[in-house]
Amino acid sequence: MASSFMGLYVQREALVSAQKALDITGSNISNSTTEGYSRQRVDVCSVQNNGYNLFYNTSVSMGGQGVDNVGITQYRDALIDDKVRGYTTSVNEYSQKKTVMSEVETALDNIEAAENGFAVNLAKFKEALQSFSSDNSDRQEIANVTIQAAQSVVQQLNYMNARIDDISQQTLEDANTTVGEINTLLRAMGELNEKITTSYVSMGYISAGKGNYIVDNDYGPLELKDMMHVYIDKLSQYGNVNVEEQTNGSFTVSFAGQIVVHNEKFAQMAMTSVNPAPFDMGFCITNAGNYDKDTDTYSGLMNSDQWVKIGQQLGSTEVYVRDDVNAVDVTGTDLLKSGTLRAYLDVYNGDGIYAVEGGNTYQGIEYYRDMLNSLAKTMTEEFNAVYEDFGFTVFTFENEDGNITEDEFHNAARNFRISQDWLDNPSVIAQPEQHPNNPEDPMDELNNDYINKMLGVIQASFKYGYTDADGKDHFDPLAVTFENFVAHISDNLGTQVESNNKILNTTEIMLESSITTRDEIMGVSIYEEGINMMNYQKWYNAIARMVTTLDEALDKIINGMGIVGL
């Protein structure tokens, strides 16, 4: 037979449950604006009967033992989390590409039609040549005007290349800063994992497992788990992330296909240079993520006291790895598929059709620089071809030996300049036979054949590019004039930026929808919590009334039974 006081014990536990429900409701309301907070609830269950034989029987005497708190759980959906992180990765990739390529567009926005743009200066050079080709008594002055117009063309290409240099350097510095942010996150996640596993043990949500303990992942240190999810969300901005909760309550996190956090251990990233100047940006992770099924252990991860320095470094970023672990290059698209780091790799390394074998073919900073390089190279070659019989050059960008290397091509716009031959004698383009024998002879009779040939070069169509050391051609498929190639650069860049922005806008809509869905699950609704608060308060009041009723019944039994007349 159950104790007469069992009813009071039952209501006492019910009061505890109601009070805890009110506490959690209050906590939810208090944290409604806390970053990463997941709405919590109290899980309760009916207390089982403890009769002697419950095989097919419910002991009536032991029935009605009330309610018990199982634990506090949170509202989360792992699939929705993955979806949000996937869209976050894509949005940050296209957003970063938008930022950088818009800067490139701004740097080149005067290439076609601005008052002092390249196309305008090219038109002025053409006009000067036309004036030079006519019979004019003051030919020396016209020659000076012509070379000054040519100098404006050269300076404009040099200026645009310098602007590209600034954007490239800023992108490199931003990527370097991003690597530091990622390393800070990975370290924090490793340290947080240790706190989570320790908390599970101290809270008692554990059971024995094979060679280890197993935790009840539904409960435990929920606020610490919320913080871990915040870190994972931030990491997903930079690249593709995968997450797995372990049996001990910790989180194993993979980034760019590599395990970067496991238990209290964490990996670190570094920026590397793949090729000499102009070099390609690369990223490595000091972890191979090797998993041994027999021992259920991971190798390749490190603690903060396990670093050794290796030789390679870039700027202020040094590459550190454990002495028994090789750094994994994650530059390839099959590993680092998307995110901010993928954007940096594409916009910084992307050389489009000018990329070497196995290089990055995205139309990034170097692609548009090489379009300028192609323009400088083609102008140099075609104008100089007019005077090749005389050993006289108009423009130059390569070394004195005349052999154009790949390095010289990639720096053609930077080194583009008027030749010393022309600078020494501005009039020589009209009478190249005067060079070098007697360049100071007066121009008694104007010979406009070569000036007309230079005008013909401006009006002719060419293909733009270079042939690499392996004999592979890297030429733009269009054969157009200098003026039309300038328009082609501008149109190509505008189309690319517009296309990127459309993808970004679409992806942002999908991300916003996924975030809304997640907020509906894990977010705190003040209105819903207000309703819960009133329901739990009614529950509490009803229990309190039940305690009063039981007290009156016990008082009757204790103080009123056996007294005549009562």
**Tens of pLDDT, residues 428-485:** 888 776 655 444 555 445 567 888 999 999 999 999 999 888 888 999 998 999 999 9
Q: In this structure, how many other beta carbons lie within 10 angstroms of the beta carbon of residue 207?
A: 10
Instruction: Supply the DSSP symbol for 557.
Output: I
Q: CB–CB of 301/322 below 8 Å?
A: no
Element (H, E) at 310: strand 308-314
Say how many Å lie between the first and final Cα of the chain, rounded.
Answer: 27
Strands 251-255 and 258-262: antiparallel
Instruction: Please name the amino acid found at residue 226.
Output: D
Instruction: Supply the DSSP symbol for 362.
Output: S
The span from the CA of 307 to the CA of 301, in Å, is 11
What's the pLDDT at 515? 95
Confidence band for 291, pLDDT divided at 50, 70 and 90: very low
Nearest-10 crossing angle of helices 340-349, 78-107? 30
What's the pLDDT at 283? 82
What's the pLDDT at 391? 81
Q: What are 114-127's pLDDT values in tens digits?
A: 667 788 889 999 99
- Helix, strand and coil content of the chain, in percent to the nearest 5, comes to 50, 15, 35
Mean residue pLDDT across the chain: 83
Query: Which class for 253: exposed (0-12), middle (13-18), buried (19 or more C-beta within 10 A)?
Result: buried
Task: Extract the runs of DSSP E, i.e. beta strands, from 286-408.
Answer: 290-292, 297-299, 308-314, 317-321, 328-329, 395-396
Share of the chain above pLDDT 70, in %: 81
Rg of the Cα atoms in the chain: 38
> Mean pLDDT, to the nearest integer, of 487-514?
95
Query: In sequence order, which residues have a C-beta less than 8 Å from that of residue 305 and are 6 or more positions away?
Result: none
What's the pLDDT at 136? 58
Instruction: Please name the amino acid found at residue 236.
Output: S
SS3 (DSSP) at 357: coil
The span from the CA of 235 to the CA of 285, in Å, is 14
Instruction: Supply the DSSP symbol for 356.
Output: P
The span from the CA of 363 to the CA of 353, in Å, is 8
- Our CA dihedral for 89, 95, 97, 99, rounded to 10 degrees, sits at -150
CA-based nearest residue to 283, from 266, 275, 271, 267: 271
Residue 409 backbone phi and psi in degrees, to 5: -60, -45
211: left (phi over 0), alpha (psi -120 to 50) or beta: left
The span from the CA of 317 to the CA of 322, in Å, is 16
Share of the chain above pLDDT 90, in %: 49
Q: CB–CB of 92/340 below 8 Å?
A: yes
DSSP states of 24-46 as a string?
HHHHHHHTTTSTTPPPEEEEEEE
Predicted structure pTM score? 0.84
Q: Which residue has the higher pLDDT, 309 or 566?
A: 566
DSSP states of 268-294 as a string?
-EEEEE-SSSSPPEEEEES---EEETT
What's the pLDDT at 426? 87
* Lowest mean pLDDT, pick from 304-313, 367-376, 503-512: 304-313
Q: CB–CB of 170/106 below 8 Å?
A: no
* CA distances for 389 relative to 66, 325, 384, 437, angstroms: 107, 61, 10, 14
Domain boundaries, the chain: 6-75+530-560, 117-133+145-170+365-509, 175-354
Instruction: Supply the DSSP symbol for 444.
Output: S
Is the confidence at residue 21, as pLDDT, over 90?
yes
What's the pLDDT at 448? 78
Q: CB–CB of 255/340 below 8 Å?
A: no
The span from the CA of 310 to the CA of 322, in Å, is 9
